[in-house]
Amino acid sequence: MASKRSTADGDSAVTTDTPMGPTGRPYHGFATPSKLDGHGPARIISLCNQKGGVGKTTTTINLAAALASYGRRVLAVDFDPQGALSAGLGVQTHESATIYDLLLDPKRDPNEVIVSTSVDGLDILPANIDLSAAEVHLVNEVARETILARVLRKVAGDYDVILIDCQPSLGLLTVNALTASHGVLIPLECEFFALRGVALLIETIDKVRDRLNPAITLDGVLATMYDPRTLHSREVLERVVDAFGDDVLETVIGRTVKFPDASVAGVPITKFAPEHSAAQAYLRLARELVSRGAVA
């Protein structure tokens, strides 16, 4: 999209093209992040939305890979018993230890559970269906909301960023993720009911800030599955911008079948189809988050 602007002398015949992004702001490419001298301590970011299928896992995988490609050391935490993040990064979880074992045994070293992925600089704390029992097990624990924070504290020094892929619920696991985090990223699908339930999510973040984690910030709202050809998608994005203003990230993720295809292959899109616009979008998201200071 380009807007035609008259020049200062009012000569409307002479126009300059200002490329506009889909969120109605001028398009920024964002500079390539500079190299880091050393690593850590990590900034921890939860990808959170209790609505299912909005792109939390897809964003965790591809943002993690994009940040790793810029030389950041990244740990992706699968915090959903469905284990989609682990599968999407090609990690088998039936027999190995998982995040669940770390939650249950605070003395256990997370390094025994962390596995590296096929992406340089990207490690994962995997999960499987065992994690579905965690809420029941943890409910009677002392300081049950801070268990994940205590696990991640042990490894935060080794990474520049830790991304937590939350399950679609606002239960105890998600509260643990928010309590462990410096920031939250909310993916919103550009669909009719996108904003439904977001008030409750914001309320949950506010409660966590009041009671458990005063420093937590909203790092951004990410519009996903955007289809510029449909009026519907454009209208939803407009409403999201009306509701969240500058908290809406300028980077918007388009809808494409490349994402399900990459998940089946068990690799990030930046590896599966590096030239595809969807891979470029996640690289731009990584640059935008660095430029906003959400990531080192």
Would you say 46 or 156 has its CB closer to ligand ATP? 46
Nearest approach, Cβ of 286 to ligand ATP (angstroms)? 16
Residue with token string 């809808």: 255
Query: How far are the Cα atoms of 2, 7, 92, 193 from residue 10, in angstroms, in the given order?
Result: 19, 6, 64, 43
Would you say 163 or 225 has its CB closer to ligand ATP? 225
User: Taking CB under 6 A as the criterion, which residues in 114-133 touch ligand ATP?
Assistant: none
Over the window 13 to 52, marking each residue x when it contacts ligand ATP by CB under 6 A and - when it does not, the resulting string is: ---------------------------------------x
Would you say 26 or 53 has its CB closer to Mg ion? 53
Beta strands in the chain (DSSP E): 2-6, 15-19, 43-47, 74-79, 115-116, 122-125, 161-166, 183-189, 217-224
- Is residue 191 part of the contact set for ligand ATP (CB under 6 A)? no
Distance CA 80, CA 83 (A): 6
Nearest approach, Cβ of 53 to Mg ion (angstroms)? 8
- Is residue 255 part of the contact set for Mg ion (CB under 5 A)? no
Would you say 34 or 169 has its CB closer to ligand ATP? 169
**Site for Mg ion (CB under 5 A): which residue of 23, 50, 57, 117?**
57
- Is residue 56 part of the contact set for ligand ATP (CB under 6 A)? yes
User: Taking CB under 6 A as the criterion, which residues in 240-279 touch ligand ATP?
Assistant: 253, 255-256, 259-260, 263
**Site for Mg ion (CB under 5 A): which residue of 43, 51, 56, 73?**
56
- Find all residues with CB under 8 Å of 227, minimum gap 6, and list them: 190, 233, 254, 255
Which residue from 259, 262, 294 is spatially nearest to 118, judged by alpha carbons?
Answer: 262
| φ, ψ at 229 (rounded to 5°) | -80, -20
- For 256, the token pair is 């494409």
Q: β-strand 183-189 against 161-166: which pairing, if any?
A: unpaired
**Burial code of 6-28, b = ≥16 C-beta within 10 A, e = fewer?**
eeeeeeeeeeeeeeeebbeeebe
Where does this chain bind ligand ATP (CB under 6 A)? 52-58, 80, 84, 168, 224-225, 253, 255-256, 259-260, 263
Where does this chain bind Mg ion (CB under 5 A)? 56-57, 84
